[in-house]
Amino acid sequence: MQKKIGMHCFVSGKVQGVWFRASTQDKAKELGLTGWACNLPDGRVEVIACGESDKINELHEWLKQGPRLAKVMDVTREELEWQEHERFEVK
């Protein structure tokens, strides 16, 4: 069984107004992850995701591209302890 971990990311670039949070939610649900994504006042998107380590890594790779209209410039990643979330939400 895969180890469950958490990931905290900040995604910068053209990531607001391009369906980034909703697309992240769709991808996270597809991967069976929980957590949330929210827009920040400085134009970045913040993402917390929890689940199996291989699925977390897959989401991290996806965040580097994002949805079709996004232009991701940078993704910072920090490992977190696994947290309990009911689902993946858009905040």
Q: In whole angstroms, give the CA distance from residue 53 to residue 67.
A: 22
Q: In whole angstroms, give the CA distance from residue 90 to residue 45.
A: 11
pLDDT, residue 2, reads: 76
Active site residue 87: no
What does the longest C-alpha to C-alpha distance in the chain come to?
Answer: 39
Going from the N-terminus, what domains does the chain have, and what CATH number goes with each?
Answer: 4-90 (3.30.70.100)
Among the listed residues 39, 44, 68, 87, the single catalytic one is 39
Active site residue 21: yes
Among the listed residues 21, 44, 57, 68, the single catalytic one is 21
Provide the residue-wise pLDDT of the chain in tens; the chain has 91 residues. Answer: 679 999 999 999 999 999 999 999 999 999 999 999 999 999 999 999 999 999 999 999 999 999 999 999 999 999 998 899 999 999 9
DSSP state string for 4-41: EEEEEEEEEEE-SSSSHHHHHHHHHHHHT-EEEEEE-T
Entry pTM: 0.96
| Element holding 54 (H helix, E strand) | helix 53-63
